[in-house]
């Protein structure tokens, strides 16, 4: 019975060791005690274990002369004994008085006393226990490292960060040709020359011409810059390397530069080829700019880029095409001849350009014959190629959802609303809010229809949109000239005030709502622009720095406070006069407003042409013949 606790203790000791080992593997908590356990565990497995015996029983055995021989271990804590009946026992020497009584008894009874050396663990166990934790740590760290590296969006290939991650098209097929990029004819013409350089370099080198090294495409996002670069590679049948400027700039100092080196090395091996660097402003900003004197790593990368561009001799056949939205922030050194000496602007497409782009994207869509791409192009000013592609795709999705065979005008119209105003929500239930929104929108639409210089109305709706839009009225801008007249801007200010004016006239000053907040912001911006930038006020032809153009360290305006007061006064005068005109028109047409608002509440949307017909029934002044606004 007495043996079992000791035995249990041994087992529990071993169990605890494994538990601790497991815990260590999981939590990586280093504890030196585990090392001590490993060899002990090894002993207890090896030894034929003597039976434990308690101290007093053993003393009695000594006194009864039943003990043949004892070995006390050198720590003086454990004693092993051979009894006369050949049994082996072990005794914990728990008595802390030097065991005087026991030693005396042993001597008196002439028991052979020996000392047992502490057994050293074998060299193997010593080595294993010393190396166990470090090796475990290394393994776990290695796996963690790999996992983090391979995680999506993680710093992939951290261990090979010096290598270029440029995507190389070994087949030299980007799959894009110039015909796929529409509405950017002048850019295409200029780039056609680059294609010829790549295809027939001899034609140019024979007469001593140097092939350009870099072409900078400047333009807003989504206008087709990447497509153009791909089209050059596609047309010339050369490989296409692509990477983004922000990829260059890395956390580790020097890595950006080595990546540039590596990229150029690869490019030279594959010449002739195109290297496309998107968002070059991420790496090519003016050096020494920014708070704190700039970013060392970025500058180092830029320097490397400049050196590499200088480094390859004129006609290696590597042409760098870079794209940016902000050519103004680029370092001058990057733009000097011999580097990105060709700048090509890729701007928002004109109405004709949009039509061309729509034709490209309509190629693989089933569109009803009744749909006029021309009318879509006119209704989408400010849309870039990417927006137009997205518009047709949205229309196709709507068509599929409605289980129709082809995309019709309705889907296109809904898609335009969706991409410009957000998702449509369920129509509002009849309520005073719905009524107010209807009047507000009718106010805008009516002025749009009656004021001579305002653009024609396309539609007015009170179907709510995601993002808190209660309704909207939209016009079709006439953008043939790309220039805006003073009366056009004033007409727009007046139309924008129409919503608030109706609220005042119909519901009274006390009932006006916050619904006109964005109208008022827009009106203020336009009036300020007229006064401070366009020289369209009594202040004369003087331009004053826009607030956005001011420096962060000196945010003061570049005009005196006296002029500041005059600017404010002019802005207010313009808005006040437009407000008065809007009020006059709405008051004159109060009955028409009621009729249109009732109809809008009922139908939720009124088309521009239908709106015009109703207006023509009521007003004594035929629509659009009202005199231009005079100031």
Residues with a catalytic annotation lie at: 441
Of 279 and 299, nearer to ligand ADP (C-beta) is 279
Confirm or reject binding of residue 181 to ligand ADP (CB under 6 A): yes
Q: Which of 62, 182, 505, 526 binds ligand ADP (CB under 6 A)?
A: 182
Closest CA to 348 of 296, 314, 383, 299: 383
184 binds ligand ADP (CB under 6 A): yes
Instruction: Report, in Å, the least distance between residue 606 CB and ligand ADP.
Output: 33
Tell me: does residue 382 bind ligand ADP (CB under 6 A): no
Q: Which long-range contacts (CB under 8 A, 24 or more apart) does 34-40 make?
A: 34/132, 34/133, 35/129, 35/130, 35/132, 35/133, 37/13, 38/121, 38/125, 38/128, 38/129, 38/132, 39/121, 39/122, 39/125, 39/126, 39/129, 40/13
Q: Does 392 bind ligand ADP (CB under 6 A)?
A: no
Q: Are strands 167-168 and 457-461 parallel, antiparallel or unpaired?
A: unpaired
* Residue among 352 and 402 whose Cβ is closer to ligand ADP: 352
Binding range to ligand ADP, per CB under 6 A, among 215-223, 294-302, 512-520, 611-619? 215-223
User: Nearest approach, Cβ of 226 to ligand ADP (angstroms)?
Assistant: 3
225 counts as binding ligand ADP under rule CB under 6 A: yes
Least separation, in Å, of the C-beta of 599 and ligand ADP?
39
Among 234, 385, 470, 498, binds ligand ADP (CB under 6 A): 385
Q: Is 57 helix (H, G, I), strand (E, B) or coil?
A: helix
Select from 178-186, 256-264, 415-423, 447-455 the region that touches ligand ADP (CB under 6 A). Answer: 178-186
Q: Among 94-102, 222-230, 362-370, 561-569, which window interacts with ligand ADP (CB under 6 A)?
A: 222-230
Binding range to ligand ADP, per CB under 6 A, among 76-84, 181-189, 442-450, 620-628: 181-189
Q: What is the radius of gyration, based on Cα positions, of the chain?
A: 43
Q: Which residue has the tokens 């008051």?
A: 587
Which positions from 334 through 363 interact with ligand ADP, judged by CB under 6 A?
357, 360
53-91: b or e for each residue (b if 16 or more CB lie within 10 Å)? bebeebbebbeeebbeebbbbeeeebbbbbbeeeeebbb
- DSSP class of 539: T
The residues, any chain, with a CB within 8 Å of residue 195's CB and separated by 6 or more, are: 232, 235, 236
181/585 with CB nearer ligand ADP: 181
Q: Which is nearer to ligand ADP, 182 or 623 (CB)?
A: 182
Measured from the CB atom, is 263 or 357 closer to ligand ADP? 357
Q: How far is the CB of 423 from ligand ADP (least distance, A)?
A: 22
- DSSP secondary structure letters along 223-272: SSHHHHHHHHHHHHT--EEEEEHHHH--SSTTHHHHHHHHHHHHHHHT-S
Residue 176 and residue 234 in contact, taking contact as beta carbons nearer than 8 Å: yes
Q: Is 164 in the site for ligand ADP (CB under 6 A)?
A: no
Residue closer to ligand ADP by CB (options 45, 364) is 364
CB of 357 to ligand ADP, least distance (A): 4
Indicate whether 300 belongs to the interface with ligand ADP (CB under 6 A).
Answer: no
CA distance 503 to 507: 5
Written as one string, the DSSP assignment of 472-496 is: EEEE----SSS---HHHHHHHHHHH
Cβ–Cβ < 8 Å for 461, 445: no
Compare residues 156 and 360 and give the one whose CB is closer to ligand ADP.
360
d(CA 60, CA 47): 26
For ligand ADP, the closer CB: 244 or 605? 244
Number of residues that bind ligand ADP (CB under 6 A): 17
Per CB under 6 A, 242 contacts ligand ADP: no
DSSP assignment string, 112-156: EEEEEPPPPPPHHHHHHHHHHHHHHHHHHHHHHHHHHHHSTTS-T
Residue nearest ligand ADP, CB atom distance: 385
Smallest separation (angstroms) from ligand ADP to the CB of 330: 17
Question: Counting contacts by CB under 6 A, is residue 234 touching ligand ADP?
Answer: no
- Asked if 323 touches ligand ADP (CB under 6 A), the answer is yes
The residues that touch ligand ADP, with contacts defined as CB under 6 A, are 181-184, 221-227, 323, 357, 360, 385-386, 389
């Amino acid at each position: 019975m007495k043996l079992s606790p000791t035995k249990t203790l041994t087992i529990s000791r071993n169990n605890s060791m494994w538990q601790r080992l497991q815990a260590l593997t999981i939590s990586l908590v280093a504890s030196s005690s585990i090392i001590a356990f490993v060899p002990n565990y090894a002993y207890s497995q090896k030894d034929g274990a003597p039976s434990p015996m308690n101290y007093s029983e053993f003393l009695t055995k000594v006194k009864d002369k039943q003990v043949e021989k004892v070995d006390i271990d050198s720590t003086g804590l454990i004693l092993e004994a051979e009894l006369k009946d050949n049994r082996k026992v072990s005794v914990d020497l728990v008595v802390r008085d030097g065991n005087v009584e026991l030693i005396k008894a042993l001597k008196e009874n002439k028991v052979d006393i020996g000392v047992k050396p502490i057994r050293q663990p074998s060299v193997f166990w010593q080595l294993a226990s010393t190396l166990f934790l470090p090796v475990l740590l290394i393994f776990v760290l290695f796996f963690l490292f790999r996992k983090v590296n391979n995680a999506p969006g993680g710093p992939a290939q951290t261990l090979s960060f010096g290598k270029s991650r440029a995507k190389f098209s070994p087949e030299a097929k980007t799959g894009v040709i110039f015909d796929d990029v529409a509405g950017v004819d002048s850019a295409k013409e200029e780039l056609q020359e680059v294609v010829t350089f790549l295809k027939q370099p001899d034609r140019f080198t024979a007469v001593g011409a140097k092939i350009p090294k870099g072409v900078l495409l400047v333009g807003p996002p989504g206008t087709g810059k990447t497509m153009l670069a791909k089209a050059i590679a596609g047309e010339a049948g050369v490989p296409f390397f692509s990477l983004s400027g922000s990829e260059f700039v890395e956390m580790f100092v020097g890595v950006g530069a080595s990546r540039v080196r590596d990229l150029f090395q690869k490019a030279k091996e594959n010449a002739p080829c195109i290297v496309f660097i998107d968002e070059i402003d991420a790496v090519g900003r003016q050096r020494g700019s920014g708070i704190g004197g700039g970013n060392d790593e970025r500058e180092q990368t830029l320097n490397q880029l400049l050196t590499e561009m200088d480094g390859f001799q004129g006609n290696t056949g590597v042409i760098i095409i870079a794209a940016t939205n902000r050519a103004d922030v680029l370092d001058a050194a990057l733009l000097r001849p011999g580097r990105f000496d060709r700048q090509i602007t890729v701007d928002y497409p004109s109405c004709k350009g949009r039509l061309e782009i729509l034709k490209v994207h309509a190629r693989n869509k089933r569109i009803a014959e009744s749909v006029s791409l021309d009318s879509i192009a006119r209704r989408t000013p400010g849309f870039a190629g990417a927006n137009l592609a997205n518009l047709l795709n949205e229309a196709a999705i709507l068509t599929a959802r409605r289980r129709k065979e082809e995309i019709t005008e309705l889907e296109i119209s809904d898609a335009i609303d969706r991409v410009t105003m957000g998702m449509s929500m369920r129509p509002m239930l009849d309520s005073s809010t719905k009524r107010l929104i209807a009047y507000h929108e009718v106010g805008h639409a009516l002025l749009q229809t009656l004021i001579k210089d305002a653009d024609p109305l396309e539609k007015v709706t009170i179907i709510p949109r995601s993002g808190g839009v209660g309704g909207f009225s939209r016009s079709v801008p006439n953008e043939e000239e790309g220039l805006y007249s003073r009366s056009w801007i004033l007409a727009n200010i007046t139309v924008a005030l129409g919503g608030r004016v109706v609220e005042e006239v119909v519901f009274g000053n006390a009932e006006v709502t916050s619904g006109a907040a964005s109208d008022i912001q827009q009106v203020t911006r336009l009036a300020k622009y007229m006064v401070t930038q366009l020289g369209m006020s009594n202040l004369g032809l003087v331009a004053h720095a826009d607030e956005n153009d001011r420096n962060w360290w000196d945010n003061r305006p570049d005009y005196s406070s006296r002029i500041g007061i005059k600017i404010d006064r002019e802005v207010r005068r313009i808005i006040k006069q437009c407000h008065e005109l809007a009020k006059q028109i709405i008051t004159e047409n109060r009955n028409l407003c009621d009729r249109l608002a009732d109809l809008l509440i009922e139908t939720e949307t009124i088309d521009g042409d239908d709106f015009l017909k109703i207006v023509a029934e009521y007003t004594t002044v035929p629509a659009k013949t009202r005199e231009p606004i005079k100031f």
